[in-house]
């Protein structure tokens, strides 16, 4: 049994040594031993390459605004581990983490001795979440974010009310496949018999795979741009405004403070999901809750403006599609500014494509590393860059501190890359800015 929160966390993180082991057999074994808690919850399942966390946030905010108690299971965490399992945006307590480990660890120890092998870190956390929402804290609905892929992801033992696939991009290609079509096949694995599926996927071959799976499972498919439509998009200084036309309703002047074209797509998925929950599953959700929920939604590290004087933005663009979206927004919003970028990433990403896009928009680019097992070194990143104005720092705190001192009203500092990196950066960056303001 775990005696402290620190012991519990150390045990969970120790499961990282098992790496990624796709498959549902270990989850199914644990769920059977726990009395199938995954069957006791009402859920929405959200998969995709990018935009999962934002879509969860938009939908959670809408449901909360209506007065529902909403559980979420997301990854990775941004500021503290407990965020992975939250209720109405509030991470569960240290004591609850400890109690959940006391429930799951004996099962893990048993599995270690079987032919199935022990559960991974993600499988352990997923099992903890199912048990928590079924047995400890019953909520009105749980929003489950897929960890990796879909078909063999640990979360894919649920039968949700609604499924969402946000986007398809070339990420985790060593596991999921090297084409949009192959990756879409894995993502489409979350589509269940008769469960409606909503998607913003636009690549023809990827969408073909989703259509095929939806037909096979007799699931009603709602495609952004075909069955519901974004209209009259207008960027705002601190967000976005747009209209949305769904099969049953027109939504004028929806607003969000989350920045970017991709965020209005994510918001539209959440609105479409809220309509289906309202129409088919007895969740009463009114127009005011949808509009206020979107406007209040906040998800850290997604084109997040940390400071306007000096201008500092953090963005968790951790794959090529994410970088492409970041580049688009920077060009649109800061064409008259000098762009200074600080970048760190995991070495298992397609780093050359990411870095070459950043090279094109940066007046200066700095490569750093951070304390994480899969983090690329600053030297590795530096050597992939073609920028004539590049540099590397082994210590990211020094790099950020130096850059802040060089900022003026003509410069923008963008800190981007791995979300694991940004989770380290944000609290220390805020302290740096606070100290500078006191000087």
As a whole number of angstroms, the distance between CA 175 and CA 168 comes to: 14
Whether pLDDT at 209 is above 50: yes
For residue range 34-79, what is the model confidence (pLDDT) as tens digits? Answer: 999 999 999 999 999 989 999 999 999 999 999 999 999 998 888 8
- 141 versus 325: the higher-pLDDT residue is 141
Cα 320–chain centre separation:
15
Q: Which residue has the tokens 């969970």?
A: 12
pLDDT attached to residue 302: 86
Integer angstrom CA distances of residue 201 from 146, 265, 302, 328: 16, 10, 20, 19
Whether pLDDT at 300 is above 90: no
Both tokens of 183, joined, read 């990756």
pLDDT attached to residue 123: 96
User: What is the rounded radius of gyration, in angstroms, for the C-alpha atoms of the chain?
Assistant: 22
Tell me the whole-structure pTM to 2 decimals. Answer: 0.90
Whether pLDDT at 439 is above 70: no
Least confident of 13-27, 100-114, 226-240, 355-369: 13-27
The pLDDT > 90 percentage for the chain reads 82
Both tokens of 77, joined, read 């965490």
Q: Which residues contact 179 (CB under 8 A, 6 or more apart)?
A: 170, 205
As a whole number of angstroms, the distance between CA 47 and CA 352 comes to: 26
Cα 6–chain centre separation:
25
Whether pLDDT at 2 is above 70: no
Mean pLDDT of 182-192: 96
Model confidence band, residue 350 (pLDDT cutoffs 50, 70, 90): confident
């Amino acid at each position: 049994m775990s005696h402290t929160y620190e012991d519990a966390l150390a045990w969970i993180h120790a499961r990282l040594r098992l790496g990624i082991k796709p498959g549902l057999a270990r989850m199914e074994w644990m769920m059977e031993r726990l009395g199938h808690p995954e069957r006791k919850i009402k859920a929405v399942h959200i998969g995709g390459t990018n935009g999962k966390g934002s879509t969860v946030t938009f939908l959670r905010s809408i449901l909360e605004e209506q007065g529902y108690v909403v559980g979420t299971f997301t990854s990775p965490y941004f500021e503290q581990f407990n965020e992975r399992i939250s209720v109405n945006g509030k991470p569960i307590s240290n004591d609850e983490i400890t109690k959940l480990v006391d429930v799951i660890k004996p099962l893990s120890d048993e599995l270690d001795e079987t032919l199935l092998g022990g559960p991974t870190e993600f499988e352990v956390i997923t099992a903890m979440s199912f048990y928590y929402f079924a047995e400890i804290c019953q909520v009105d609905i749980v929003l489950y974010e897929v960890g990796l892929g879909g078909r063999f992801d640990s979360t894919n033992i649920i039968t949700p009310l609604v499924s969402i696939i946000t986007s398809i991009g070339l990420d985790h290609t060593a596991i999921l496949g090297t084409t949009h079509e192959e990756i879409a096949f894995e993502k489409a694995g979350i589509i269940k018999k008769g469960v409606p599926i909503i998607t913003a996927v636009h690549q023809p071959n990827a969408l073909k795979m989703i259509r095929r799976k939806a037909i096979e499972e007799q699931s009603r498919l709602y495609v952004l741009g075909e069955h519901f439509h974004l209209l009259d998009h207008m960027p705002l200084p601190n967000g976005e405004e747009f209209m949305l036309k769904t099969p049953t309703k027109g939504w004028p002047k929806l607003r969000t403070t989350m920045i970017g074209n991709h965020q209005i797509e994510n918001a539209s998925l959440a609105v479409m999901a809220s309509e289906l929950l309202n129409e088919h599953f007895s969740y009463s959700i009114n127009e005011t809750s949808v509009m206020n929920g979107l406007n209040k939604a906040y998800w850290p590290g997604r084109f997040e403006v940390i400071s306007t004087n000096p201008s500092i933005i953090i963005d968790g663009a951790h794959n090529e599609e994410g970088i492409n979206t970041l580049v688009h927004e920077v060009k649109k919003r800061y064409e008259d500014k000098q762009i200074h970028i600080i970048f760190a990433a995991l070495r298992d990403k397609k780093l050359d494509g990411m870095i070459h896009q950043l090279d094109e928009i940066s007046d200066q680019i700095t490569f750093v590393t951070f304390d994480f097992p899969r983090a690329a070194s600053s030297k590795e990143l530096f050597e992939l860059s073609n920028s004539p104005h590049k540099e590397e720092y082994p210590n990211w705190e020094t790099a950020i501190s130096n850059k802040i001192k060089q900022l003026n009203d003509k410069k923008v500092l963008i800190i981007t890359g791995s979300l694991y990196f940004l989770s380290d950066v944000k609290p220390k960056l805020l302290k740096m800015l606070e100290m500078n303001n006191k000087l």
